[in-house]
Amino acid sequence: MRTPVRLAATLLKFQAAAPFRKGVSPIYRWSIKFGESRLIVSSLPTVSSRGEGKKAAKADAAQRTMAMRASPWAKSPIVWLTGPSEVLEQSIAPGLARMLQDYDRTVFFETDGFHLRKRIHEFRPDSRLYLTIRLYGMAEKHDARMQRPAAFARAVEGIRAAQLSGFLTCAHIVIETSTQKQDIERLFEDLQSLRVDGVIISAGEDDDSADTRETLIHCRRLLGNSWWAKFSRLVQDSVQNAGRQAAAGAHARPVLPAAHFPSAAGLNTSHTSTIPGEEAAAQ
């Protein structure tokens, strides 16, 4: 497992500007909520596709810049796209990843991997996209935690399908109170044989016990790569920040102004409006 050059450069650039970005994390954790909560996307008036030339291109660029500055992740170069439920069960999810890539964000798309092989064709391979598979341990532990038979096997199939399709893959190992060190050691050996591009190890959102912290420290030593160990701590910080904001009653549904949000076809959903100035809602 090697240090990712482009991602490392992105973080170095962010750190260089850190004095001007007080209190801003390099990772924006976007937890997508569907169902009772709606994902709201506000679109700005768009330039007609018929307009050509420098004037139309300049207006288009200006609108995209406005949309970018108004977005909740404007100051964070990395977006961790996840959800309280499996995001790949929602048709809109791959389109969101593509949109964030278009806004030059590095995207960690977190999934349990169960549906990844079936939907891999909806993503776009890019050095800014890491298909990130969440794992809780080896097959027995992971399947029990997911309450799904063969969940671990399907996750591994998803990783292999992603690699064959040219995607960067990352494993996100979640440490909980019941996690056994030996189980994670075996899991890490399997991940090495799979040759994933990165491994992130963090604790669950609501788990800050002494046993979990001790297990977390032990497991991060297995990485053998100081860069991914540091990145794991950044991911952990973003999880804790999201938890504090939720506890404080912070708004959990980012309103995303987008000058040229992908069309309904691009998002693979029929719940998207592209009428200028209107709101697009995905149930």
Confidence of residue 191 (pLDDT cuts 50, 70, 90): very high
Q: Is residue 86 part of a domain?
A: no
Please, are residues 87 and 32 in contact by the beta-carbon 8 Å criterion?
A: yes
- At residue 22, the pLDDT reads 73
Angle between helices 181-194 and 210-220 (to 10 degrees): 30
- Segment 35-81, tens digit of pLDDT: 544 444 433 334 444 556 677 667 766 766 676 666 778 889 999 99
Q: Which domain holds residue 126?
A: 34-77+112-282
- At residue 255, the pLDDT reads 43
Please, are residues 76 and 26 in contact by the beta-carbon 8 Å criterion?
A: yes
Query: Residue 267 pLDDT more than 50?
Result: no
Higher pLDDT among residues 37 and 193, named by residue? 193
Angle between helices 151-164 and 181-194 (to 10 degrees): 30
Please, are residues 94 and 123 in contact by the beta-carbon 8 Å criterion?
A: yes
- At residue 103, the pLDDT reads 87
237-258 per-residue burial string, b: 16 or more CB within 10 A, e: under 16: ebbebbeeeeeeeeeeeeebbb
Helix H or strand E segment including 63: helix 54-70
Q: Is residue 162 part of a domain?
A: yes
Please, are residues 47 and 63 in contact by the beta-carbon 8 Å criterion?
A: yes
Q: Is residue 87 part of a domain?
A: no
- At residue 99, the pLDDT reads 87
Task: Strand 27-31: give its sheet, edge to edge.
Answer: 27-31, 78-82, 106-111, 129-135, 168-175, 198-203
Q: Identify the top-confidence range among 52-66, 150-164, 262-276.
A: 150-164
Q: Is residue 164 part of a domain?
A: yes
Least Cα distance to 82 among 47, 131, 127 occurs for 131
Least Cα distance to 34 among 90, 110, 94 occurs for 90
Query: Residue 251 pLDDT more than 70?
Result: no
Please, are residues 36 and 84 in contact by the beta-carbon 8 Å criterion?
A: no
Please, are residues 151 and 112 in contact by the beta-carbon 8 Å criterion?
A: yes
Q: Is residue 129 part of a domain?
A: yes
Q: Is residue 157 part of a domain?
A: yes
Confidence of residue 268 (pLDDT cuts 50, 70, 90): very low
Helix, strand, or coil (residue 159)? helix
Q: Is residue 168 part of a domain?
A: yes
How far is 73 from 225, CA to CA, in rounded Å?
Answer: 28
Q: Is residue 12 part of a domain?
A: no
Helix H or strand E segment including 107: strand 106-111
- At residue 277, the pLDDT reads 29
- The number of folded domains in the chain is 1
- At residue 243, the pLDDT reads 57
Task: Report how far Cα 17 is from the mean position of its chain's Cα atoms.
Answer: 23
Confidence of residue 246 (pLDDT cuts 50, 70, 90): low
Segment 94-116 mean pLDDT: 92
Mean pLDDT of the chain: 79
Angle between helices 151-164 and 139-146 (to 10 degrees): 100
Helix H or strand E segment including 200: strand 198-203
